[in-house]
């Protein structure tokens, strides 16, 4: 397949992956971001997260230090939630500059991202000012959400025009996967390829190329959808709380639904995007134009200054613990929280075809409303596809990645039955139920799409302009994604069945990529994919991991633990342990824990490198697997920690042993004689159940080492981990020596205990927290021994197990476990 993909790259017309031969590879050594507002400052933060040097510009401050505006924006980044920075202290890495003193600094920037206020004249003035300082190879890209990229480019000097394009990030840029790239008639052929390569691999984003039309793809379809939803809300006289319940998770969309999402985005921002549609489109260019009027409720809320979350009032307002909803008729906030009829929740769980049929035929307003908004979204996407995007896949990806939808409009339509749904839409248009009388394009009913039963096929996705199915763009960077996100009809092999299976149970699959899929030396590393819910670690998973090592030691170069999607693992499977505990008592658990500990040691001392490929949560037992691996390859968005205290337990599968060992190793490598300072950080992390909020923070907590690799793009994780394992093997990998190491002993424990007493007496921790933290201190200090006593990992693991089992019979721990199992939330007792 690897070969095949390469060949496809050459054969495909229009794939501009080749740079002119006389040009060297485009490398982004430094980026300038112009504009330290909401977007610019956060984009700069994300560049720091992925280790790209960045300088952030804004206007010179009128008073005080000239960099005042930028400095204030960078300070603001530290307080923003969700945090734009992996670790807040990295804010100092953002270079500060202003247009009066520092334009010279632009000369060594390879990429300049403009993100100043949304005014054509201001942007053009700025381009004029910076033009003389732009390096001859640098790409200049605007983050505008609504202005025409082509019109912006027209005022540029000829020399810069070929290197100018649009780069549309979504807010918040660290977390939103989508970046839309837009070219102009004068953008050089390789510029978007170069930028796509950097944005994908370097920034970890999903790129969609959009045509230069108002609001591009995601905001065009998304905001038209929101306006259409508001119209249907009025028509069916529904309240915002019920609509949000219907249009959130149940519908496979962002859990905040329609109106709470608007509140979070900000109603002024939304009104701005709506205005862009109103100002730049008309009934000719968009047959849905009539429905783009600003809804009465939005006008009213804007007049009242109720701009959403930032103004503490919008469609919703909090009053103590209650959430009130806005009532347009009375202009008052009234009690909210109403839910949708349960019958629709059940309908929405049915297979797509049946679901849409039930909704369309339902009598109640809520069902009719749901069918109407889905029909509107299909209708709009089909009518506008040719003008806004190259292919239907681009629209689906844009809606998934930019609006948090599980499926884009075309995917759902196709899954539900292409022609059936098309006929329903046609009937609704004829009977005046649709928002526009514009007919569906001919390609919907006739020709290749109708014959294939949809827009996504194994050949590719429908491009209505080229009138053919087009595969995904082939760029070398995509060879780094073994299992990229796909659209259903493409029938790309999923990781669940790909490659060669070596062993499979309900809990785990051990397999290898096909030799040719993984490059010339492929198929040589065992991949262990956990299959349990939340990738929880059951005894069967542990057995599978041991088997993976055994198989790899015989015939392969290493093991990569990679389970396809989030999370890496939410921890040990408490539920699976419960029956044994009930039937046999604590001794059954002692045995199970012992087996888990043995598994961790097996991973650590395997004769081949074991690499954990982590994305999302690696909690409790997941974290313990990670720290016992020879190396970790980690997606930027990884949240790692030992959280057992939350369920009234201590880490019992080697987590505390790791903390003690790491402290001893750090002390041995330093000039300090005292081990305690090295232990404090690990102890505190475990005792307070701290979880890193990014890979960078997880590293600060000690769960990742400097030698581990952080990967910006989640879809490159497997590729990098396999290469890491192969490189380690090739370099002559041998497991670490089994060494004894020094512990802090009873004196160390006494010191920690003293601090814990203060915390308990000060009311910071409960008596049970105090008890658990005391047990953790006991284990990480090595129990009742002298300071400096040498111990083995097995010895510490025995202490760990004893602490774990003693807690299991404690009523307060049992209360925590039962609480977690029944509500999923930690019990504080």
Where do contacts with ligand NAD occur on this chain (CB under 6 A)? 35-40, 58-59, 69, 115-118, 122, 126, 143-145, 169, 171, 269
Task: State the minimum distance, in angstroms, from the CB of residue 99 to ligand NAD.
Answer: 7
Helix (H, G, I), strand (E, B) or coil at 557: coil
- What is the four-CA torsion angle of 113, 119, 121, 122, rounded to 10 degrees? -50
3-state SS, 429-487, equals HHCCCCCCCCCCCHHHHCCHHHHHCCCECCCCEEECCCCEEECCCCCHHHHHCCCCCCC
Closest listed residue to residue 124, CA positions, set 100, 173, 80, 157:
157
Confirm if 545 and 599 have CB atoms less than 8 A apart: yes
Task: State the minimum distance, in angstroms, from the CB of residue 104 to ligand NAD.
Answer: 18
Confirm if 262 and 222 have CB atoms less than 8 A apart: no
Token couple for 597: 């500990």
Task: State the minimum distance, in angstroms, from the CB of residue 143 to ligand NAD.
Answer: 4
Nearer to ligand NAD, 59 or 302 (CB): 59
Determine the Cα–Cα distance for residues 454 and 445; give it in Å rounded to an integer: 10
Closest listed residue to residue 641, CA positions, set 590, 587, 569:
569
Determine the Cα–Cα distance for residues 729 and 731; give it in Å rounded to an integer: 5
Nearer to ligand NAD, 59 or 759 (CB): 59
Dihedral sign, Cα of residue 113, residue 114, residue 118, residue 124: negative
Q: What is the DSSP string of 613-641?
A: EEEEEEETHHHHHHHTSSEEEEEEEEEEE
Query: For residue 676, what is the enclosing H or E element?
Result: helix 676-687
Nearer to ligand NAD, 118 or 566 (CB): 118
Task: State the minimum distance, in angstroms, from the CB of residue 40 to ligand NAD.
Answer: 6
Nearer to ligand NAD, 134 or 756 (CB): 134
Task: State the minimum distance, in angstroms, from the CB of residue 43 to ligand NAD.
Answer: 9
Beta bridge partners of 317: 313, 324
Within 13 A of 281's CA, how many CA atoms are on the CB side? 27
Whole-angstrom CA distances from 740 to 379, 492, 606, 663 are: 69, 49, 18, 13
Token couple for 488: 């259903």
Nearer to ligand NAD, 100 or 555 (CB): 100
Determine the Cα–Cα distance for residues 183 and 382; give it in Å rounded to an integer: 23
Task: State the minimum distance, in angstroms, from the CB of residue 118 to ligand NAD.
Answer: 4
Task: State the minimum distance, in angstroms, from the CB of residue 263 to ligand NAD.
Answer: 14
Eight-state DSSP code of residue 242: H
Helix (H, G, I), strand (E, B) or coil at 185: coil
Nearer to ligand NAD, 102 or 801 (CB): 102
Determine the Cα–Cα distance for residues 781 and 765; give it in Å rounded to an integer: 21
Nearer to ligand NAD, 37 or 439 (CB): 37
534 CB-near residues (< 8 Å, 6+ apart): 567, 569, 570
Nearer to ligand NAD, 69 or 242 (CB): 69
Closest listed residue to residue 37, CA positions, set 76, 6, 11, 4:
76
Task: State the minimum distance, in angstroms, from the CB of residue 148 to ligand NAD.
Answer: 12
Task: State the minimum distance, in angstroms, from the CB of residue 50 to ligand NAD.
Answer: 19
Task: State the minimum distance, in angstroms, from the CB of residue 115 to ligand NAD.
Answer: 4
584 CB-near residues (< 8 Å, 6+ apart): none
Whole-angstrom CA distances from 45 to 37, 87, 113, 180, 670 are: 12, 10, 13, 19, 33
Nearer to ligand NAD, 26 or 169 (CB): 169
Determine the Cα–Cα distance for residues 753 and 180; give it in Å rounded to an integer: 54
Nearer to ligand NAD, 143 or 197 (CB): 143
Helix (H, G, I), strand (E, B) or coil at 664: helix
Nearer to ligand NAD, 171 or 186 (CB): 171
Beta bridge partners of 167: 181
Query: For residue 180, what is the enclosing H or E element?
Result: strand 178-182
Vertex 742: Cα angle to 737 and 746 (nearest 5) = 150
Task: State the minimum distance, in angstroms, from the CB of residue 145 to ligand NAD.
Answer: 4
Query: At residue 780, what are phi and psi to the nearest 5 degrees?
Result: -70, -20
- Residue 651 CA from chain centroid, whole number: 27
Task: State the minimum distance, in angstroms, from the CB of residue 396 to ligand NAD.
Answer: 20
Nearer to ligand NAD, 38 or 688 (CB): 38
End-to-end CA distance of the chain: 55
Task: State the minimum distance, in angstroms, from the CB of residue 42 to ligand NAD.
Answer: 8
Beta bridge partners of 56: 33, 96
Nearer to ligand NAD, 173 or 692 (CB): 173
Task: State the minimum distance, in angstroms, from the CB of residue 70 to ligand NAD.
Answer: 8
Task: State the minimum distance, in angstroms, from the CB of residue 273 to ligand NAD.
Answer: 9
Furthest-apart CA pair in the chain: how many Å? 87
- Tokens 């990014």 locate to 694
Nearer to ligand NAD, 15 or 124 (CB): 124
Nearer to ligand NAD, 307 or 675 (CB): 307
Nearer to ligand NAD, 49 or 612 (CB): 49
Query: For residue 801, what is the enclosing H or E element?
Result: helix 793-808
Nearer to ligand NAD, 58 or 697 (CB): 58
Nearer to ligand NAD, 169 or 469 (CB): 169
Task: State the minimum distance, in angstroms, from the CB of residue 392 to ligand NAD.
Answer: 24
- Residue 518 CA from chain centroid, whole number: 25
For ligand NAD, the nearest residue by Cβ is 37
Task: State the minimum distance, in angstroms, from the CB of residue 169 to ligand NAD.
Answer: 6
Task: State the minimum distance, in angstroms, from the CB of residue 178 to ligand NAD.
Answer: 10
Closest listed residue to residue 748, CA positions, set 657, 655, 680, 702:
680
């Amino acid at each position: 397949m690897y070969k095949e993909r390469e060949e496809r790259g050459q054969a495909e017309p229009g794939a501009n992956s080749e740079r002119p031969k006389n040009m060297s590879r485009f490398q982004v050594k430094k980026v300038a971001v112009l504009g330290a507002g909401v977007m610019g400052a956060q984009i700069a933060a994300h560049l720091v997260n992925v280790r790209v040097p960045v300088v952030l510009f804004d206007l010179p401050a009128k008073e005080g230090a000239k960099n005042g505006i930028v400095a204030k924006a960078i300070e603001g980044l530290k307080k923003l939630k969700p945090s734009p920075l992996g670790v807040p202290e990295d804010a100092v890495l953002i270079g500060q500059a202003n247009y009066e003193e520092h334009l010279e600094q632009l000369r060594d920037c390879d990429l300049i991202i403009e993100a100043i206020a949304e005014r054509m004249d201001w942007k053009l003035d700025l381009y004029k000012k910076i033009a003389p300082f732009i390096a001859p190879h640098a790409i200049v890209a605007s983050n505008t959400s609504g202005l025409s990229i082509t019109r912006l480019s027209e005022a540029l000097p000829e020399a810069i025009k070929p290197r100018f394009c649009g780069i549309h990030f979504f807010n918040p840029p660290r977390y939103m996967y989508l970046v839309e790239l837009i070219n102009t008639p004068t953008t050089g052929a390789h510029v978007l390829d170069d930028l796509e390569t950097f944005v994908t691999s370097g920034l970890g984003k999903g790129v969609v190329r959009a045509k230069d039309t108002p609001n591009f793809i995601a905001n065009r379809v998304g905001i038209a959808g929101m306006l259409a939803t508001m119209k249907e809300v009025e028509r069916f006289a529904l309240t915002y709380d019920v609509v949000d319940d219907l249009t959130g998770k149940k519908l496979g969309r962002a859990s905040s639904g329609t109106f709470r999402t608007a509140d979070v985005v900000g109603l002024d921002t939304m009104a701005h995007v709506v205005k862009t549609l109103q100002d730049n489109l008309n009934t000719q260019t968009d047959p849905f134009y009539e429905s783009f009027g600003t809804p009465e409720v939005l006008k009213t809320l804007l007049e009242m200054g109720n701009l959403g979350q930032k103004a503490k009032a919008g469609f919703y307002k909090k009053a103590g613990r209650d959430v009130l909803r806005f009532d347009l008729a009375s202009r008052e906030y009234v009690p909210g929280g109403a839910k949708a009829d349960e019958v629709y929740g059940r309908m929405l769980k049915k297979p797509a075809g049946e679901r849409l049929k039930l909704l369309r035929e339902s009598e109640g307003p809520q069902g009719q409303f749901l069918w109407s908004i889905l029909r509107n979204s299909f209708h709009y996407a089909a009518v506008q596809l040719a003008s806004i995007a190259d292919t239907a896949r681009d629209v689906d990806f844009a809606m998934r990645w930019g609006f948090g939808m599980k499926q884009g409009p075309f995917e759902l339509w196709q899954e539900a039955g292409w022609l059936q749904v098309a006929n329903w839409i046609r009937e609704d248009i004829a009977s005046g139920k649709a928002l526009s009388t514009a007919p569906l394009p001919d390609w919907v009913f006739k020709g290749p799409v109708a014959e294939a039963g949809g827009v996504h096929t194994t050949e590719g996705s429908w491009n209505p302009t080229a009138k053919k199915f087009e595969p995904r763009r082939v760029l070398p960077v995509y060879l780094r994604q073994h299992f990229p996100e796909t659209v259903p009809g493409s029938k790309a092999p999923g990781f669940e069945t790909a490659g060669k299976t070596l062993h499979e149970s309900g809990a785990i699959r051990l397999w290898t990529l096909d030799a040719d899929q993984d490059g010339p030396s492929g198929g040589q590393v065992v991949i262990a994919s956990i299959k349990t819910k939340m990738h929880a670690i059951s005894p069967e998973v542990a057995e599978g991991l041991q088997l993976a090592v055994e198989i790899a030691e015989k015939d392969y170069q290493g093991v990569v633990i990679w389970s396809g999607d989030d999370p890496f693992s939410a921890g040990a499977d408490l539920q699976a342990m419960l029956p044994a505990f009930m039937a046999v008592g604590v001794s059954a658990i002692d045995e199970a824990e012992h087996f888990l500990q043995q598994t961790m040691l097996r991973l650590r001392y395997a004769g081949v490198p074991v690499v954990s490929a982590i994305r999302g949560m690696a909690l409790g037992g997941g974290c313990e697997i990670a720290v016992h691996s020879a190396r970790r390859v980690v997606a930027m968005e990884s949240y790692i920690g030992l959280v057992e205290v939350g369920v009234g337990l201590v880490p019992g599968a080697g987590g505390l042993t790791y903390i003690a060992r790491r402290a001893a190793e750090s002390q041995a490598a330093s000039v300090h004689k005292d081990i305690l300072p090295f232990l404090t950080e690990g102890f505190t992390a475990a005792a307070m159940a701290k979880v890193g909020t990014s890979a960078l923070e997880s590293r600060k907590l000690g769960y990742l080492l400097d030698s581990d690799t952080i990967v910006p793009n989640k879809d490159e994780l497997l590729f990098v981990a396999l290469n890491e394992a192969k490189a380690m093997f090739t370099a002559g990998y041998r497991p670490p020596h089994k060494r004894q190491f020094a512990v802090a002993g009873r004196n160390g424990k006494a010191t920690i205990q003293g601090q814990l007493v203060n915390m308990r007496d000060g009311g910071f921790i409960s008596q049970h927290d105090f008890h658990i933290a005391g047990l953790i201190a006991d284990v990480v200090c090595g129990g009742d021994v002298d300071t400096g006593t040498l111990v083995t990992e097995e010895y510490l693991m025995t202490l760990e197990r004893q602490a774990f089992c003693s807690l299991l019979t404690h009523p307060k721990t049992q209360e925590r476990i039962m609480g977690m199992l029944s509500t999923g939330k930690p019990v504080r007792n």
